[in-house]
A and B are shown apart, each in its own frame.
Chain A
Amino acid sequence: MKSKNPSEEPAHDDNFLESSRRDFLKHSGLLTAIALTPAPLVSAAQKGFDEKIADLYEKVPVSLEVNGVKHQLSIEPRVTLLDLLREQLELTGTKKGCDHGQCGACTVHVDGHRVNSCLTLGVLVSGKKVTTIEGLAKGDQLHPMQEAFIKHDGFQCGYCTPGQIMSAVACIREGHANSEHEIREYMSGNICRCGAYPNIVNAIQEVKEGGQPV
């Protein structure tokens, strides 16, 4: 996500210290800024104090459990769960497709319910349990839905697949996989541009009919 451009800051913005000092000092005009800034501030900036002060203002503590592992993080409130997972926890299985809640590639489970992680702010999942595609398999043993997607060729490029599988598992758990029609309706939040839909439906139907716990 793009930071705001410091050149657009109003001169007397009360939030200046809180919101943009770090961006300001990092900006390409750094030398000019230091030349015009009083000596104590320059010294503080060189020692990185401003970074620490900015962190105090800008970051919020968040504790959450991801795939059974507890994490204590400090994040900017604008960080989405998707970016938190991918950039901070390096769980890149969850994909960023549209980043606007339209494609479902970012689907994860929060406290057992499927959500779009791209529209979920990280601060809103504090204290909750998140499951991503990395959390489905038990060691080397794939989840039945993962096995079924391989068996039925439920993908071509594979980019939407983690989201499809997380959604498919939820679809069965919710009790919305009782017919092809119902599966298609309740999987409509996951777009596959390769058009693997018939195979995805077959995979879900097989897992549902197999009766294995998902």
Chain B
Amino acid sequence: MKQFQYSRPATQQAVIDAINKPGAKIIAGGTNLVDLMKRGVTAPDKLIDINHLPLKNIAPVKGGLHIGALALNSVVSENKLVVAQQPLLSMALKAGASPQLRNMATVGGNILQRTRCAYFYDTTMPCNKREPGSGCGAIGGYNRMHAIFGASDKCIAVHPSDMCVALVALDATLIVQSKKGTRRIPFADFHRLPGEHPDLDNNLAAGELILGVEIPDNNFAKNSYYLKIRDRQSYAFALVSVAAALELEGNTIKNARLAMGGVAHKPWRLVEAEKALIGKPVSAETFNIAAQIAIQGAKTYGGNDFKLKLAPATITEALKHASGLV
């Protein structure tokens, strides 16, 4: 690992001053960043330690629940308010990583984690995300894990988070701070599609610090399910994952949220499929129709062709679990 300077600015304001400089990166849990630094994928000149900032709180706010950027993934997943009010988030967090990593990883770090595309990690291979202009090894290469939605001819990598799939389904809002003040960003608008600039994962501006996320109150607690399909039962990134949340009135779907992980450069909200569920009865047929709508426009790259079948099947299964059909 390349040597770097380490600093721990005393206040939030001092942190914001420090991160506004080129070559500086924030370190919180470090589960992704330290790994990338060991592999030489990234080599910051300076690490700004923010672990002492008071951003670990999980508390109700007007109309929702606030979760601080430094709250640990394990703590959030077991938090009583989260389990009772936002079980989808708890389920998604528990589906991610391992107990050890969840004890280290923070909410902010989870949101900002980089793709696990093998070509991004292998510094001997071309990758437009790691080295803009060098090409994409995954297109025409080993792309079993890769995107079926929203990719470009520059990059077909996926965002690896489970937590973010739940947050986009739950209409969360990100709160960030910079010298200019605080800014609220709808979660669905935070992560980017690769387009011409796959090196940019998200819309966080230089010098901005994530303070936390807010999840608006909802009526999905009774009928939520996170289903993650992977190459082994636990501790692996998603081939496909589905966050499903329903609000039922008798046997009728009053409101619905659906999002997928492992299929795009960002957590992938399925708005059209949600529309196909609302007002319909809970049934396998309803869910199959929504699942077919969900994969319209999908494009595969050889190694991930199987996702055209796996994705709708996972959506249907997740909706069955969420609605209590199974």
Contact = CB atoms under 8 A, between A and B. Distances in A.
A124 interface: yes
B101 interface: yes
A94 interface: no
Q: Contact size class for B?
A: 20 to 34
By secondary structure, the B interface counts as: loop
A63 B3 CA distance: 21
B172 interface: no
Most buried by B among A3, A120, A171, A189: A189
B35 A100 contact: yes
B43 to A, nearest CB: 9
A184 interface: yes
A80 B234 CA distance: 26
B98 interface: yes
Contact of A4 (B3, B27, B31): B3
Interface residues of A, number: 39
B99 interface: yes
A189 B51 contact: no
Contact of B5 (A77, A170, A174): A77
Given A77-B6, A176-B99, A184-B233, 13 more contacts: A18-B5, A19-B3, A20-B3, A77-B5, A77-B47, A101-B100, A116-B31, A119-B35, A123-B6, A124-B49, A167-B99, A185-B233, A189-B235
Interface of A: 1-4, 15, 18-20, 58, 60, 76-78, 80, 99-101, 104, 107, 113-116, 119-121, 123-124, 167, 170-171, 174, 176, 184-186, 188-190
Interface of B: 1-6, 27, 30-31, 34-35, 37-39, 45, 47, 49, 51, 74, 97-101, 103-104, 233-235
